[in-house]
Amino acid sequence: MMQVKLLSLSCLSLFLFLVNEVAFGEAIRVGIPGLSAEFVPVWAARDKGLLKKYNLHAEIIPMQGGTQLVQAMIGGSLDFAVMGGAYLTGAVKGADLVMVATHMDKFPYSLIVKPAIKRAEDLKGTKLAISRFGSSSDAGLRVSLQRSGINPDKDVTILQVGGQTERYAALKAGVVDGTVVIPPLSGPAQRAGFNELFNMTKLGIPYPQEGVVASRQYIAKRRDTLLRFLKGFVEAVRDLKADKEFAIAVLAKHLRMDPKKDREALEDSFQEVVIEQMLKIPNPNLEGVKMGIELLGKERPAKTSGDPKDYVDTTLMAELEKSGFLRSVYK
């Protein structure tokens, strides 16, 4: 009798699972390192039903920086993530992670500083905020300082503060002297009287700023799931670029901004991130990954591969290209 009851419960569980799959789609947990305009394709893909179109039901989970995402993927609490070069910090130390698509391949940050700081030389002795050590904000800040003759390890103090909202709050409160931000905060920060000391976008430094990162094990087991996610993601980028009002509505909703009061900042985000920096076809950028590996410096174990090909998987985007899907999106 007990065996019959257990069998009945197992059948019921399987039935409910299948019903849920049919009604809502395959459940996936996708991590992002915070609330920023860089992640608008993920929100747009879900909000517009593009993921549902490909039988996916996505839970989008914001965390405090890419370092936490790496730990979450290693621990199995996330299926995959949309994130930047912070994945390399874990990958060079043995984490089974690769970037399968890259929708932003250059640093997008501005270094915003107190009004009294006018030149790079004025940064000496200051405190500058990033999200987490090893993150994209950390890498972008360090390479910009180095190119301006400032030693990031000796001339300044770099502090881990969290997402850009927290970093900007720390700057306004006087806790730090500067921080790296992207739209929608870079514009309002300047209008509030802070100085933009560096605009990293204009430097054009290649870097895997944002893309889709997964483990090789996940790719092997659920390749079709990832391919369907990439289809919805690519279509979302297309729709965001084509429809300004849709893009601004999605940005306002998820960045918790007022579509009317914050219109100028939202338009900054649309123009500078969606139009100017977001790639239509998010192929992994090997040159950017190479830069990311080089920036790790001493953090990369000596015996670890320095070949960027070991940290990307180009086969998924290649499959979408070969199938004709990418051509159909922009026909």
pLDDT in tens, 290-324: 999 888 876 667 667 789 999 999 999 999 999 99
Task: For residues 100 and 243, state if they share a domain.
Answer: yes
- Check residue 132 and give its pLDDT: 84
CA distances from 14 to 7, 19, 21, 56, 148 (A): 11, 9, 11, 18, 60
Whether the predicted pLDDT of 259 surpasses 70: yes
Task: For residues 159 and 197, state if they share a domain.
Answer: yes
Q: Per the structure block, which two tokens stand in for 251?
A: 């940005």
Domain finish residue from 203, 233, 259: 203
Question: In the block, which residue shows the tokens 């509505």?
Answer: 249
Whether the predicted pLDDT of 20 surpasses 50: no
- Check residue 16 and give its pLDDT: 41
CA distances from 142 to 48, 137, 154, 166, 171 (A): 37, 9, 11, 20, 18
Task: For residues 96 and 130, state if they share a domain.
Answer: no
Whether the predicted pLDDT of 159 surpasses 90: yes
Task: For residues 212 and 313, state if they share a domain.
Answer: yes
Domain finish residue from 141, 172, 203: 203
d(CA 94, CA 19): 38
Whether the predicted pLDDT of 12 surpasses 70: no
Task: For residues 27 and 56, state if they share a domain.
Answer: yes
Task: For residues 175 and 227, state if they share a domain.
Answer: no
**Percentage above 90 pLDDT, the chain:** 68
Task: For residues 95 and 191, state if they share a domain.
Answer: no
Task: For residues 181 and 197, state if they share a domain.
Answer: yes
Query: For the residues 68-95, what does the mean pLDDT come to?
Result: 92
Domain CATH number, residue 308? 3.40.190.10
What rounded mean pLDDT belongs to the chain? 89
Task: For residues 227 and 103, state if they share a domain.
Answer: yes
Looking at residue 108, its amino acid is P
**Percentage above 70 pLDDT, the chain:** 92
Parent domain of 20: 2-107+206-329
d(CA 305, CA 93): 10
How many domains would you assign to the chain? Answer: 2
Whether the predicted pLDDT of 173 surpasses 90: yes
- Check residue 252 and give its pLDDT: 96
Domain finish residue from 169, 203, 237: 203
d(CA 268, CA 196): 15
Task: For residues 216 and 315, state if they share a domain.
Answer: yes
Task: For residues 304 and 316, state if they share a domain.
Answer: yes
- Check residue 8 and give its pLDDT: 55
pLDDT in tens, 223-258: 999 999 999 999 999 999 999 999 999 999 999 999
Question: Which of 206, 218, 273 is CA-nearest to residue 240?
Answer: 273
d(CA 101, CA 234): 10
Task: For residues 51 and 153, state if they share a domain.
Answer: no
pTM above 0.85, yes or no: no
